[in-house]
A = this chain, B = another copy of it.
Amino acid sequence: MTAHADTARSTKRQHIIETAERLFAEHGYDATSTARIAHEAGVPSGLVFYHFATKLDLLLAIVNERPTPSAVLRSASRGRSVRGRLRAVVSAMAGELEHNRAARIIVFREAQACPEIATRAAELFAEAAATVADVLSGADDLADPARVRTAAELVVSRVFLDIVVLGQTESAAKRHAAMIDLVADMLTSPGPRTARNSA
């Protein structure tokens, strides 16, 4: 009847997801009651379970119905040098985690909740590392592709641990700069001068 009824209806499910995402990220999955989600979303508590059979299904919806950060990361890289690209992609990744952090944080924090979440956490990590490696491989001054991938994983580990687990965002920037320098050098160096796997 009313003009916005149609919009409101299709929006409520999405609204529940967004509210839950925010609360899960802030307080954790277990510490957030479905009643609070419903209250803060402005919907009756029954509606949460009309759209999501269980609380865990709501968590899975948050985790699965979110876009992959790849696009953001990829578009952020336009530098020529490895160093420039690294700087761009780390900045983009940190920003993305910061801006859209909820789902990411949830995935890593609640990995223990069920195997599906744990799998998704591993996927997100692999995806991010692949994107970073991809971005770096476009640089002019690049070394061995295998080393690029290994380096990408190191970088992603550092950023994820900092932001997702340790929650430090201010002081992280400085240390990330040092890391970028180190990794850039590593990737642009002529390569190992000693045989691998020998002590």
Contacts and interface: CB of A to CB of B under 8 A. Distances in A.
A28 interface: yes
A80 B194 CA distance: 14
B166 A122 contact: yes
A167 B81 contact: no
A181 interface: yes
Given A111-B167, A189-B186, A153 B146 contact: no
Interface string A173-196: 001011101111110111111101
A80 B29 CA distance: 47
B112 A112 contact: no
Interface stretch (A9-17, A64-72, A155-163): A155-163
Interface in A104-133: 108-109, 111-113, 118, 121-122, 125
A124 to B, nearest CB: 10
A147 B30 CA distance: 40
Nearest to A28: B112
A83 B199 contact: yes
A54 interface: no
A182 B148 CA distance: 10
A121 B182 contact: no
A132 to B, nearest CB: 14
The 3 closest A-B pairs by CB, nearest first: A30-B30, A84-B199, A186-B186
